[in-house]
Amino acid sequence: MEMSFRWYGDDDPVTLENIRQIPDMKGIVSAIYDIPAGGVWPYDRIMQLKEKVEQHGMRLNVIESVPVHEDIKMGKPARETWIENYKQTIRNLSKAGIKTICYNFMPVFDWTRSEMAAALPDGSNSLKYDEDTLKDIDPLSGQLTLPGWDLSYQTDELQAIMDGYKEIDEDQLMDNLVYFLERIIPVAEEEDVLMAIHPDDPPWRIFDLPRVINGNTRIKEMLTRVDSPSNGITFCTGSYGADPENDLLEIIETAEGRIHFVHARNVKRMKSGYSFQETAHSIHAGSIDMVAVLEKLHEVGFDGPIRPDHGRMIWGETGRPGYGLYDRALGATYLNGIIHTLQKKENAQ
């Protein structure tokens, strides 16, 4: 497995120089953040990002994310234009030597939490999702903002989009995803690019919006309906693991050979299981058995990029919620310890 780290570009308080000092760090996961959803990513901009990473002794191994335009998700006629643009971005990324693209198909909002800095017993703080709190929040109020959200919508436009989703259920959203994949995956195959869809986060309805990549059944459907090695998943332990009904080891078995990227994140499930808080990556910190997950990934032969996902804010660090340096660096070292042990055991056999 190739240990990697998310970097938000020159505006990120965590620098490439910081990241390169983490032991055995090989890859950088990043994106071009100022191009709106639907726009073609220019080859020269991609190369600028790639070269900046390589100057620090690492490689740009995953793009996370190339956003999918809302018209594609909603199945509107304009999706044809946005899909053609998406194909060209795949070609440009491939030309630059970048062969793994993470994306998601979550309507309107990317990953969602109710608190940015909820206290943990050890004195650190982290992202939290509280079901009761979310029920009382109006998504049009501007009360919630998170890194990665598209905040370009005006209130009236956002209202119209959310109203449009009232006519779209999970089955229709899946059909729209399949329509998109049937058109981009042939290009990905030609370009030797792996498309890795990120699960819904959290993996259930929020603000009454449909969610479609949330567990084993839907993963199996997506992989079967567009049956190509280029059509795969980002296996996010925290997203899938937030739902107590998801069996992470079963999902790994279902997606064997089609897991193209891994997000390793631990969460502590609370209440009925539909509230959770992010924790340290350790097996003892949350509800996810990270050792068992990595053992299963090793067993099915996953050797692609893996990154420590959202971390706590520790030692007084402030900055982008979930994306501080210190706890993710600890997480990378913890994960590498497990991975190196598994590799050593295999080599000794």
Task: Examine the residue annotation and report whether 310 is marked as an active-site residue of this protein.
Answer: yes
| Residue 39 burial by Cβ neighbours in a 10 Å radius (0-12, 13-18, 19+) | middle
- Of 130, 200, 243, 309, catalytic: 309
Task: Examine the residue annotation and report whether 298 is marked as an active-site residue of this protein.
Answer: no
In CATH, what number is assigned to the domain containing residue 328?
3.20.20.150
Place of tokens 């030692």: 315
Q: Is the predicted pLDDT of residue 144 greater than 90, yes or no?
A: no
Tally of structural domains, the chain: 1
> The whole model's pTM is what?
0.95
Task: Examine the residue annotation and report whether 102 is marked as an active-site residue of this protein.
Answer: no
Task: Examine the residue annotation and report whether 227 is marked as an active-site residue of this protein.
Answer: no
Residue pLDDT, tens place only, 33-78: 999 999 999 999 999 999 999 999 999 999 999 999 999 999 999 9
- Of 69, 260, 263, 281, catalytic: 263
SS3 content of the chain, % helix, strand, coil (to 5): 40, 20, 45
Residue pLDDT, tens place only, 264-304: 999 999 977 789 999 999 999 999 999 999 999 999 999 99
Task: Examine the residue annotation and report whether 69 is marked as an active-site residue of this protein.
Answer: no
Print the domain residue range for 271: 2-348
Work out the angle at residue 266's Cα, subtended by the Cα atoms of residues 261 and 267, and round it to the nearest 5 degrees: 125
- Of 103, 165, 323, 334, catalytic: 323
CA distances from 327 to 57, 87, 218 (A): 22, 36, 32
- Of 12, 236, 243, 274, catalytic: 236
- Of 198, 260, 281, 298, catalytic: 198
